[in-house]
A and B are shown apart, each in its own frame.
Chain A
Amino acid sequence: MAKILVKKQLSKDVFLMRLYAPLIAEERAAGQFIILQIDDDYGERIPLTIADASIDEGSITIIFQVVGKSTLQLSQMNTGDDIPTVVGPLGKPTHIEKFGTVVCVGGGIGVAPLHPIAQALKHAGNNVITIIGARNKDLIILEDEMKTIADEFILCTDDGSYGRKALVTEPLKEICERTPKPNMVIAIGPPIMMKFCSETTRPYGVFTQVSLNTIMVDGTGMCGGCRVNVGKEVKFVCVDGPEFDGHLVDFDNMMARLNSYKKIEQEAHSCFLEQEIKQREGLL
């Protein structure tokens, strides 16, 4: 059980919560995630990256986007409420060392898990170039936080409503063309964005690390639902990852698998929304 200490709405569908979870706060490292459940009997398990933690406060920070019924319900919980299940930290921590120049590319909500990694890389003495992007201005999160860390900061939106009008792959390509090339790229965001970041860097031979958020049930190496093809091997995101070499990940298969339950989930979501609307109409 974890109490919600702070809740903030970062944009229309994006929320930040600080949860009281002292053991997780103590053990976690950049790159790791938690699984939470808002109902122990019927709730589903939602994997979320730990965006930040404070050992003093005993808290971890999560940032999530409302995408379905469970995340919508989570967003309706408030400061002081208890989340029945919060378990972690799961996954392998990001390997941090001084690589030289590292480009950190974050897409949409992916900036949340990217932030602690960028922070740790900076701390380890790397030259950190940050590119953050989103569909539009409303969906940009953690701009100031990322700007503070970055030695060079680039912001872009798909529609040009803020910053440069471009996909993140455009500035990424330009940076890869520089001499010397960057030593490493870390890309976190929607699967399609990670796929194209990997495709962008491939011709330049720049190692590109991606962080995968697949379907997951237990998150402790038992169910195998999170398996992905990485090169010729089958890997399990929960215990082998979540970070992998983007040049080896079979993104198309991963995206197909992510959509396994799309129809069922959409029905559940709209069902829930209809109920909500009916309830509200009843109250009026």
Chain B
Amino acid sequence: MNHHTPEQLADEAKKIIVEYLDKIDDMKPKERTKIPPQEMPAQDPIVRSSNLDEVALGYTIEQARIEAMRCLQCVKKTCVEDCPVRIDIPRFINHIAHAEFESAAAVIKEASLLPAICGRVCPQETQCQSNCAVGKALKDVDKSVAIGRLERFIADWERATGKIATPEVKPETGKKVAIVGSGPAGLVVAADCRREGHHVTIFEAFHKLGGVLRYGIPEFRLPNDIIDKEIDVLKAMGVEFKTNFVVGRTRKLTDLIEKDGYNAIFVGTGAGLPMFMGIEGESLVGVFSANEYLTRANLMRAFDKGHADTPIYNSVNVAVLGGGNVAMDAARMAKRLGAKNVYVVYRRTEVEMPARKEEVAHAKEEGIEFYFLQNAKRIIGDENGRVKAMECLRYELGEPDQSGRRRPVVIPNSEFILNVDTVIVAIGNGSNPLISQTTPQMNVNKWGNIIVDETQKTSIDRIYAGGDIVLGAATVILAMGEGRRAAAAINKMLAEEIEKEPNSSN
């Protein structure tokens, strides 16, 4: 893919927008589908592969308006149906086309308080953009209206113009809601419960807020500043944050209700123990879970080698096992930390890779090499117990499995050696064991994920759960969707209680 500079893209948009401005509301669908899809401006691949600055730079006003004009304003809004938090997408996009950015922001905020984050990390191509009529008409999902980029544009515009509105909070109800974990699910619950006037406390085990948004997703994809700003909105609403607090250990989960007077709890403790391949050599020095590698680099700032006390492994040749977003993040981080060669080893093909398309494209531009239909057989160590190579096997695709993806089948005697000094395993996470270990009465499934009903309620009264601790490793937006559902149930429960209270002023 040719890299167009941000200036080239901006100039081009300025030039062509003139053609459409007079007929914003009068174009036929055919005309709209002919408007050129706007490419996301990005940092130069060579430059960015050695810095941590954000890769995607965001649309200019003209680019955003042109992209917005591509929307057909369908009557049947498949995009809204495919959005886990049901943002009224055509409506906010129409505002962008007319340069009514504040109104666009208001529409998004009806459904989501975290647009700057979602616009950046949601897998839009499998959600809102997957059934877009424009993409269908052009027979290419990549040519769907770039909803995510437009969402991000609005969030960035709000921040840049200082017009971030603090959502209204209803009068205090006197009810207390505890949220365990400050990741995406928890943040959504906090916002939704606080809006109803309940006192909300978020307990976070780490010293910084944001959960996976902070420790997992690198700054080049989601800058810390963005997370801080979105959390500032919650703080302005009066949400209380307690860091360095491990619910289950610092305080028992049920003690929050029994001793501290919380009326409801939401558990959003997120991903747990990283999974490993279970192959020979995985305990050698130089084998890391992606969680560990990324936490060191992101949360502990090991990227900043001059300042950070947390060390990170010096690597030359790195193999990353897996094909999801986390694998992409780890591979691209390794490159930025100075690795010469980074190989993503994935046992299926590019089509089956669960990572966001944009991340895969960016990774390729940055020189990450992809080894498809291959997988690690064993990791080989030197005399000091450090990784010196990895033996791999080649695969071919066989019959579809339960997930509908064609099952990779090993090709006999296809072993070969890959010379690497570092192996990063990014094949998913189990569940976090802390809550189940310390709350024996909580029902969990055989993988340790908390079992919830359709309102996200757990087996314990007043305690709800959502996000990765329920779903296993999923996405930010799915976690938010669960948070939204849990908050609705919590708000309903608390409202009913207030109603029943004899001294209720109503």
Stretch at the interface among B68-76, B300-308, B336-344: B300-308
Q: Which residues of B contact A283 (CB under 8 A)?
A: none
- Say yes or no for A234: interface residue by CB 8 A criterion: yes
Contact of B309 among A39, A228, A234, A252 (CB under 8 A): A39
What is the distance, in angstroms, from B342's C-beta to the closest C-beta of chain A? 19
Question: A37-B207, A44-B309 are contacts. A224–B273 as well, Cβ < 8 Å?
Answer: yes
**B205 and A23 within 8 A (CB):** no
**A43 and B292 within 8 A (CB):** no
Please classify how large the interface on chain B is, using the bins under 10, 10 to 19, 20 to 34, 35 or more.
35 or more
Cα distance, A263 to B28, chains bound together (Å)? 66
Mark contacts of A181-193 with chain B using CB atoms, 8 A cut-off: 1 yes-contact digit, 0 otherwise: 0000000000000
**A253 and B385 within 8 A (CB):** yes
What is the distance, in angstroms, from A32's C-beta to the closest C-beta of chain B? 8
Cα distance, A162 to B179, chains bound together (Å)? 54
Q: Which residues of A contact B285 (CB under 8 A)?
A: 256-257, 259-260
Q: Which residues of B contact A57 (CB under 8 A)?
A: none
**B272 and A40 within 8 A (CB):** no
**A23 and B289 within 8 A (CB):** no
What is the distance, in angstroms, from B321's C-beta to the closest C-beta of chain A? 14
Cα distance, A223 to B434, chains bound together (Å)? 13
**A220 and B432 within 8 A (CB):** yes
Q: Which residues of B contact A251 (CB under 8 A)?
A: none
**A41 and B309 within 8 A (CB):** no
Closest to A226 in B: B292
Question: A260-B285, A260-B313 are contacts. A87–B433 as well, Cβ < 8 Å?
Answer: no
- Say yes or no for A58: interface residue by CB 8 A criterion: no
**A218 and B207 within 8 A (CB):** no
- Say yes or no for A268: interface residue by CB 8 A criterion: yes
Q: Which residues of A contact B296 (CB under 8 A)?
A: 217
User: Could you tell me which residues of chain B, from 74 to 106, have a CB within 8 Å of some CB in chain A?
Assistant: none
Contact of A239 among B206, B207, B301, B433 (CB under 8 A): B433
Question: A90-B246, A253-B283 are contacts. A224–B291 as well, Cβ < 8 Å?
Answer: yes
Q: Which residues of A contact B301 (CB under 8 A)?
A: 41-42
- Say yes or no for A70: interface residue by CB 8 A criterion: yes
User: Could you tell me which residues of chain B, from 223 to 270, have a CB within 8 Å of some CB in chain A?
Assistant: 243-246, 249-252, 270
**A239 and B434 within 8 A (CB):** yes
Closest to A1 in B: B244
**A217 and B300 within 8 A (CB):** yes
Closest to A257 in B: B285
Question: A40-B207, A264-B314 are contacts. A223–B292 as well, Cβ < 8 Å?
Answer: yes
Contact of B311 among A23, A85, A229, A268 (CB under 8 A): A268
Cα distance, A23 to B300, chains bound together (Å)? 25
Q: Which residues of B contact A69 (CB under 8 A)?
A: 309
Contact of A88 among B250, B286, B314 (CB under 8 A): B250
**B283 and A44 within 8 A (CB):** no
Q: Which residues of A contact B384 (CB under 8 A)?
A: 256
Contact of B249 among A42, A90, A227 (CB under 8 A): A90
- Say yes or no for A163: interface residue by CB 8 A criterion: no
- Say yes or no for B276: interface residue by CB 8 A criterion: yes
Q: With A85-B207, A87-B250, A234-B282 given, can you name 8 additional A-B contacts, CB distance below 8 Å?
A: A23-B250, A42-B309, A45-B300, A84-B207, A87-B207, A90-B246, A236-B273, A239-B434
The list of the 10 closest CB pairs from A to B, nearest first, reads: A256-B385, A224-B289, A223-B292, A261-B311, A44-B309, A224-B274, A87-B244, A44-B310, A264-B311, A225-B292
Can you report 11 A-B residue pairs in the complex whose CB atoms are below 8 A from each other? A27-B250, A41-B301, A43-B309, A44-B311, A89-B250, A90-B246, A217-B296, A224-B274, A239-B273, A257-B385, A268-B311
